[in-house]
């Protein structure tokens, strides 16, 4: 019974986080575009700096990044800035059991990991543009999407295994049996 209450409570908290995100993002932040633009420009600039550090002749134009004489370029839109993935990660950690002491450091670390992976994704896609536009498109649509979601899932699993407080639910389940 305790496990059922845990699941219902988890679903209700998830619905609350989703509703809050919808109100904050879809009805306010998305319309202004300021936050998305800031993230996109930051990702593009970070990728640009790393590529130029490795002596690539790179150009940027707001949300577009390309290597000179490449076959393709990378244009980062608001849907590719990783914001929704960051919020998905944060929301799960917030609603899952665990001490706030651990949440305060685990959430920023997880978001930074996802952010740096997103920068690496943009770099890799830009380098794909040297080889082939079809390779760039395939890796954008499949490879890097899968990698980012797997890493997000692994972050959740690390949280559940090492930092959550779900052992009470497990102990009470075994007592009922």
In a domain? residue 27? no
pLDDT over 90 (residue 139): yes
User: In terms of residue numbers, what domain contains 68?
Assistant: 33-166
In a domain? residue 162? yes
Rounded mean pLDDT of the chain?
89
Q: In this structure, are residues 144 and 121 in contact, taking their beta carbons and an 8 Å threshold?
A: yes
The residue written with tokens 């608001």 in the block is 78
Q: In this structure, are residues 146 and 80 in contact, taking their beta carbons and an 8 Å threshold?
A: no
In a domain? residue 73? yes
In percent, the amount of the chain with pLDDT more than 70 equals 92
In a domain? residue 173? no
Confidence of residue 176 (pLDDT cuts 50, 70, 90): very low
In a domain? residue 15? no
Which pTM value belongs to this model? 0.85
Q: What is the pLDDT of residues 53-96, one digit of tens each?
A: 999 999 999 899 999 999 999 999 988 899 989 999 999 999 98
Q: What is the pLDDT of residues 141-157, one digit of tens each?
A: 999 999 999 999 999 99
Q: Supply angle C-alpha 74, 78, 80, rounded to 5.
A: 55
Q: In this structure, are residues 65 and 123 in contact, taking their beta carbons and an 8 Å threshold?
A: no
Q: For the purposes of burial, counting CB atoms within 10 Å of the CB of 97, is it exposed (0-12), middle (13-18) or buried (19 or more)?
A: middle
In a domain? residue 119? yes
In a domain? residue 65? yes
> For residue 166, what pLDDT is reported?
67
In a domain? residue 134? yes
pLDDT over 70 (residue 168): no
Confidence of residue 13 (pLDDT cuts 50, 70, 90): confident
Q: Which tokens sit at 6?
A: 């845990």
> For residue 118, what pLDDT is reported?
96
Total domains, the chain: 1
Q: What is the mean pLDDT of residues 107-134?
A: 96
The DSSP 8-state label assigned to residue 177 in this structure reads -
> For residue 100, what pLDDT is reported?
94
> For residue 171, what pLDDT is reported?
47
């Amino acid at each position: 019974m305790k496990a059922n209450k845990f699941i219902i409570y988890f679903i209700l908290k998830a619905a609350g986080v989703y509703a809050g995100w919808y109100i904050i993002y879809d009805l306010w932040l998305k319309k202004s575009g300021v936050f998305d633009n800031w993230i996109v420009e930051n990702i593009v600039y970070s990728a640009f700096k790393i590529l130029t550090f490795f002596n690539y002749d790179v150009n940027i134009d707001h949300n577009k990044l390309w290597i000179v004489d490449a076959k393709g370029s990378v244009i980062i839109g608001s849907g590719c800035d990783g914001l929704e993935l960051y919020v998905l990660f944060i929301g799960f950690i917030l609603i899952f059991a665990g001490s706030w002491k651990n949440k305060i450091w685990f959430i920023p670390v997880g978001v930074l990991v996802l952010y740096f992976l997103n920068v690496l994704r943009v770099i890799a896609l830009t380098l794909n543009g040297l080889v082939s536009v079809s390779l760039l498109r395939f890796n954008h649509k499949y490879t890097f999407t899968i990698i980012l979601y797997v890493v997000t899932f692994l972050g959740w699993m690390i949280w559940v295994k090492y930092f959550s407080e779900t052992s009470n639910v497990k102990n009470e389940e075994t007592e009922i049996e």
